[in-house]
Homo-oligomer: A and B are copies of this chain.
């Protein structure tokens, strides 16, 4: 997702330096005028604002604090913005380490997928220093539609994890409703049309329901990444002294989807697992 997001900065006339682990992924941006940096530190040394977009907590740790990471180029006035979805606790640790050099680290995970990244319609949930947020907000507005300052460091990540609870459990609601519709002899598309405009309505129903019915599992948002995010949710819940029963349930069902070979399919592939579990019926006994 980093490439289209960076492309919006370039298109708006900003000077852009890029570093990626797989250099070919930067080719298109470089052909449009971006400079190449050999390391994250090199990129940070040449910029006022540095954006990170990787996968998981250890990836951000390497980019932020590793030997060739942003910390090596940290200085007062630099703002680092992390668009990855990672641990809120680790986020606060990265922010504290960079703060020692006067650099602000803002967590700014996004929602909206590849489509949102390409169209500049992402939701961006930001945690960290309010003044640093105000300073870089115009740049975020080039990449997203709904930009929200959620609180201190980690609050953006926590908000994204709440988002993932909603996304995953609402997806499960759609899976069970579509299973009941299909196995009861209804036309599931007719069911969606009948109910989507009312209290049953959701983004998941309108967007993923028809794909479930059609057996179209092209991603969107991949099962592997949803499962990574649900692991972060369950860790964050544990940190807050909470167990979340439906989130735990859907997490186990996504793990089943992964082991069934759906890891790189879209999250609507959860439907195949729910349908199978519903027909074989173990969950009612075990839950």
Question: How long is the Cα–Cα vector from A148 to B185 in the complex, in angstroms?
Answer: 16
The residue on B at minimum CB distance from A155 is B186
Contacts of A181 in B (CB 8 A): 158-159, 162
Interface window among A3-11, A14-22, A274-282: A274-282
Determine whether A218 belongs to the interface, using a CB cutoff of 8 Å to chain B.
Answer: no
Determine whether A30 belongs to the interface, using a CB cutoff of 8 Å to chain B.
Answer: no
**Interfacial residues of chain A within 150-206, with CB under 8 A of chain B in the complex:** 150-151, 155, 158-159, 161-170, 172-174, 176-181, 183-187, 190-191, 193-195, 197-205
Contacts of A173 in B (CB 8 A): 165-166, 168-170, 172-173, 246
Whether the Cβ atoms of B240 and A183 lie closer than 8 Å is yes
Determine whether A237 belongs to the interface, using a CB cutoff of 8 Å to chain B.
Answer: yes
Question: How long is the Cα–Cα vector from A164 to B181 in the complex, in angstroms?
Answer: 12
Determine whether A236 belongs to the interface, using a CB cutoff of 8 Å to chain B.
Answer: yes
By DSSP majority rule, is chain A's interface helix, strand, loop, or mixed? Answer: helix
Determine whether A146 belongs to the interface, using a CB cutoff of 8 Å to chain B.
Answer: yes
Contacts of A200 in B (CB 8 A): 111, 162-164, 166-167, 170, 203
Contacts of A284 in B (CB 8 A): 243-245, 248
Whether the Cβ atoms of A148 and B190 lie closer than 8 Å is yes
**Interfacial residues of chain A within 230-269, with CB under 8 A of chain B in the complex:** 233, 236-237, 239-250, 253
With contacts A123-B195, A125-B195, A200-B111 known, is A246 near B172, CB below 8 A? yes
Apart from A148-B194, A166-B200, A199-B221, 16 more pairs, CB < 8 Å:
A116-B198, A125-B195, A145-B197, A146-B198, A148-B190, A150-B186, A158-B180, A162-B178, A162-B191, A163-B195, A165-B176, A166-B174, A167-B200, A180-B240, A180-B242, A183-B242
* 29 A-B residue pairings within 8 Å (CB atoms): A111-B198, A111-B199, A112-B199, A123-B197, A125-B194, A150-B194, A151-B187, A151-B190, A155-B186, A158-B180, A158-B181, A159-B194, A162-B191, A164-B200, A166-B201, A166-B202, A166-B205, A169-B177, A169-B246, A170-B200, A176-B244, A180-B237, A180-B242, A183-B240, A184-B240, A202-B205, A243-B282, A245-B249, A245-B274
